[in-house]
A and B are shown apart, each in its own frame.
Chain A
Amino acid sequence: MGENMVLVFIETREGKIKKSSLEALSEAKRRGDELGSEVAAALLGSVMDCLNPDVFSYGAAKVFLLENARLGAYSSQGYAAALHELARELQPKAIFFAATAMGKDLAPRLAAKLGVGLASDCTKVAVQEGRLEFTRPIYAGKAFLSIRLKSSPQLATLRPNVFPLAQPRNKTGEVIKKEAAIAEGQINGQVAEIFREKGEELDVTEAEVIISGGRGMKGPENFALLKELSALIPRSTVGASRSAVDSGWIGHQNQVGQTGKTVSPNLYMAFGISGAIQHLAGMSSSKFIVAVNKDPDAPIFKVADYGIVGDLFQVIPPLKEALAKALSE
């Protein structure tokens, strides 16, 4: 069966399946149909009692639950060992991961264990001559590279927010529970704790809307204005340019650009960001871009769908009001 299977690693956090994993599953189903391959999902943990039916509704025909007490906390070594064992048994054609913090940590470890290549952070997957072709941004999006992997299984991590979720279908499938073999001493590094430094905040790589500020914000206190806008918009978060981060106005976790994070939200709103090359590289694949800047010649306007030339401090208050009104309707 294996040679004709696309396997998807399903990531859970605090018992919930990540949306980006369901996106990867949806894409696996689309490409699997093209290849004539069955799609299976793999979930790992210490006790896998209840299964979220989502994996079936988004396209998996089978789901493998890999259990071991040592898989309770995430470790690249433990997770890679369990997936390696499964991959050896199933011999899938491809294994997909979401390009999340965990996916990016785990997939290369598994690839090295299997001795195969990996396509990182893909934004497009196609089938060409019966093989998968992966397209991925390089230089943070200044160019796009298309590659094929000569080895099998073909491993890929898929960028969150890029691949559309399939229309969920009310389906069920086969559940296969397995005890993962992980030897004592095989894990000598793992997650001890997950903590939040400043409350619940959506990461820029996962947000559907990013409200970003640059040097034009003039100081750390003014980022509160952007947070107020973000509070109005569902699945949004605050971003920043390098100069705002380097000035210490906001944490580097929020930095967008080649020197920060590359993002592809539905909407990117840039306030007081002039648009340095490295910043534009990191956000140009956003679906819609809005720029508010005093300088009509700011490079950000060259990539913006909608621009307002003006003082952001005069634009934000009425914008907040109009947004609140539109979103309450």
Chain B
Amino acid sequence: MNILVFVKRVPDTESKIRINRETNSIVEDSLNFIISPNDEYAVEEALRLREAKGGRVTVIAAGTEESLVVLKKCLAMGADEAVLIKDEMKETYDGLRIAKILAGAVEKKFPVYDLLLFGKQSMGADNAQVPSMVAEKLGLPQANVVTKLEIDGNKGTAHREIEGAMEKVTFSLPAVVSAQKGLNEPRYETLKGIMAAKRKAIPVLTFEELGLSQEETAPQVEVTRLDMPPVRRAGKIIPGTPEEAARELVKLLHNEAKVI
């Protein structure tokens, strides 16, 4: 199987986000960056499919050269090849822009594939747009937010999470699948993997090489504001014995908050 996996570099989920109001962007100094956790499930699934069925795993990221670290990690996990599409723009929160870039790269440089794997959303922009948009651009079926995936010949079956239930989606390959927590347990890089990854070069592709015009890569999303969430104040600590406090809490929820 020829599998393409798409990954993104995002701030660590344990970090505090600070913003710059003048540039409407987040402050990156002192932030720790990681591979978007959902993308790790996608990489792991690709490696497992290759182990079961043979084939090749290529990991692709669009971003600045800072994303090379994330690609190195994927190589250390066991990916055969990693490629960076050089995008000098910082976060534009524009899913369609990224989808055009990735779909353009697939058509131009990786036209032979069976499966395209993504994380269900990047933990940052939180758009959850790119997998479905790439599927549409390439005319492929999609299964998003997947917690179980089975491939049998050129047919796939995925379990995808919906509200309070699961959907079983059947599709033909090639297809787009986006991974959700629960799909698998991503492996750690081994020392051998890290050493092997060090020796692998990561080709860098430019928009020019991909035949992407200025127009196609211009953001269509105009950011007007970036704000911190409303500040929550610490409220009341309810005193008393557990019994007294519990009764008082119900009273407050009923009479004051009016939510019960």
**Is there contact, CB below 8 Å, between A143 and B26?**
yes
3 nearest A-B residue pairs (beta carbon): A189-B141, A189-B171, A101-B162
Which residues 102-124 of A have a CB within 8 angstroms of B? Answer: 102, 104-106, 108-109, 111-113, 115-121
For residue B30, give the distance in angstroms from its CB to the closest CB of chain A: 14
Return the contact of A146 from the options B15, B224, B234, B238 (Cβ within 8 A).
B224
A102 CA to B171 CA, complexed, in Å: 17
A329 nearest CB neighbor, chain B only: B254
**Is there contact, CB below 8 Å, between A197 and B37?**
no
B222 nearest CB neighbor, chain A only: A148
The answer to whether B123 has its CB under 8 Å from any CB of chain A is: yes
**Is there contact, CB below 8 Å, between A118 and B129?**
yes
The answer to whether A24 has its CB under 8 Å from any CB of chain B is: no
Return the contact of A151 from the options B172, B220, B232 (Cβ within 8 A).
B220
**Is there contact, CB below 8 Å, between B132 and A109?**
yes
**Is there contact, CB below 8 Å, between A121 and B126?**
yes
| Residues of chain B lying within 8 A (CB to CB) of residue A302 | 232, 234
Which of B51-59, B91-99, B189-197, B206-214 faces chain A? B91-99
8 A-B pairs (CB sep. < 8 Å): A101-B145, A108-B129, A147-B224, A259-B181, A262-B126, A290-B253, A318-B247, A325-B250
Given contacts A120-B126, A205-B163, A142 and B229 within 8 Å (CB-CB): yes
**Is there contact, CB below 8 Å, between B224 and A138?**
no
Given contacts A146-B225, A151-B220, A194-B165, A189 and B126 within 8 Å (CB-CB): no
| Residues of chain A lying within 8 A (CB to CB) of residue B201 | none
Given contacts A144-B227, A253-B161, A326-B260, A193 and B167 within 8 Å (CB-CB): yes
User: How many A-B residue pairs lie within 8 Å, measured between CB atoms?
Assistant: 281
The answer to whether A190 has its CB under 8 Å from any CB of chain B is: yes
The answer to whether A179 has its CB under 8 Å from any CB of chain B is: no
| Residues of chain B lying within 8 A (CB to CB) of residue A311 | 242
The answer to whether B160 has its CB under 8 Å from any CB of chain A is: yes
The answer to whether B67 has its CB under 8 Å from any CB of chain A is: no
**Is there contact, CB below 8 Å, between B181 and A307?**
no
**Is there contact, CB below 8 Å, between B221 and A149?**
yes
B127 nearest CB neighbor, chain A only: A120
**Is there contact, CB below 8 Å, between B161 and A101?**
yes
A327 CA to B236 CA, complexed, in Å: 23
A322 nearest CB neighbor, chain B only: B250
Given contacts A303-B234, A318-B243, A102 and B162 within 8 Å (CB-CB): yes
| Residues of chain A lying within 8 A (CB to CB) of residue B166 | 194-197
**Is there contact, CB below 8 Å, between A308 and B13?**
no
**Is there contact, CB below 8 Å, between B257 and A105?**
no
The answer to whether B133 has its CB under 8 Å from any CB of chain A is: yes
A140 nearest CB neighbor, chain B only: B126
For residue A243, give the distance in angstroms from its CB to the closest CB of chain B: 13
A309 nearest CB neighbor, chain B only: B237
**For chain B, which range describes its interface: under 10, 10 to 19, 20 to 34, or 35 or more residues?**
35 or more
Which one of B14, B141, B163, B259 has the highest number of Cβ atoms from chain A below 10 Å of its Cβ?
A: B163
Given contacts A112-B99, A133-B224, A315 and B242 within 8 Å (CB-CB): yes
For residue B259, give the distance in angstroms from its CB to the closest CB of chain A: 4
For residue A322, give the distance in angstroms from its CB to the closest CB of chain B: 4
For residue A287, give the distance in angstroms from its CB to the closest CB of chain B: 7
B244 nearest CB neighbor, chain A only: A318
A121 nearest CB neighbor, chain B only: B126
A156 CA to B94 CA, complexed, in Å: 13
A146 nearest CB neighbor, chain B only: B225
| Residues of chain B lying within 8 A (CB to CB) of residue A75 | 141
| Residues of chain A lying within 8 A (CB to CB) of residue B162 | 100-102, 194, 203
Return the contact of B168 from the options A142, A195, A309, A318 (Cβ within 8 A).
A195
A77 CA to B168 CA, complexed, in Å: 16
Which of A58-66, A168-176, A277-285 faces chain B? A277-285
Return the contact of A141 from the options B99, B147, B229 (Cβ within 8 A).
B229
Which residues 234-287 of A have a CB within 8 angstroms of B? Answer: 251-253, 255, 258-260, 262, 266-267, 276-278, 284-285, 287
The answer to whether B150 has its CB under 8 Å from any CB of chain A is: no
The answer to whether B89 has its CB under 8 Å from any CB of chain A is: no
**Is there contact, CB below 8 Å, between A146 and B164?**
no
A102 CA to B145 CA, complexed, in Å: 11
The answer to whether B252 has its CB under 8 Å from any CB of chain A is: yes
A188 CA to B136 CA, complexed, in Å: 12
**Is there contact, CB below 8 Å, between B229 and A144?**
yes
Given contacts A120-B127, A307-B237, A201 and B164 within 8 Å (CB-CB): yes
**Is there contact, CB below 8 Å, between A304 and B136?**
no
A198 CA to B128 CA, complexed, in Å: 27
| Residues of chain B lying within 8 A (CB to CB) of residue A136 | 126
Given contacts A304-B235, A307-B235, A105 and B168 within 8 Å (CB-CB): no
